[in-house]
């Protein structure tokens, strides 16, 4: 006859563990992945605090005024990938300009002049 108490004692003596349920493996993997994500998030937080990313964002929330030449009309505005403001101006004579502005530093970081001519291409000044 089968004695469960004797089987239990033999497991303890031999050190054999009972088989794990099937869900234990995926749960362990999920714990490892979440732990890595927490460490990564804390590293990003530390980097942001060390480099002052929040300070730069706080500087751009105030009011800023930009003056442009008379005779030019603002025809487009958008934000660039790095938070810069992109302004497109057009003049009555067909000329235009595209400006890249860094609002935090209040500087013009790029300028493209557009002039009418034959065909497309870059013109050396």
Condensed to tens digits (0 to 9), the pLDDT of residues 103-115 reads 777 888 888 888 8
Distances (CA, A) of 6 to 3, 9, 37, 51, 121: 5, 5, 46, 65, 90
Q: pTM of this prediction?
A: 0.47
Point out which residues pair with 111 in neighbouring strands.
Answer: 99
Condensed to tens digits (0 to 9), the pLDDT of residues 7-49 reads 555 555 555 778 889 999 999 999 999 999 999 999 999 988 8
Rounded CA separation 123/97 (Å): 14
């Amino acid at each position: 006859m089968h004695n469960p108490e004797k089987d239990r004692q033999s497991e303890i003596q031999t050190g054999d563990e009972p088989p794990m349920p099937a869900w234990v493996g995926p749960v362990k993997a999920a714990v490892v992945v979440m732990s890595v994500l927490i460490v990564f998030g804390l590293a990003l937080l530390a980097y942001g605090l060390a480099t002052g990313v929040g300070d730069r964002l706080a500087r751009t929330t105030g009011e800023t005024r930009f003056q442009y030449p008379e005779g030019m009309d603002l025809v487009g505005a958008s934000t660039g990938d790095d938070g810069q403001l992109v302004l497109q101006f057009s003049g009555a004579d067909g000329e235009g300009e595209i400006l890249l502005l860094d609002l935090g530093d209040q500087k013009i970081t790029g300028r493209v002049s557009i002039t009418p001519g034959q065909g497309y291409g870059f013109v050396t000044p």
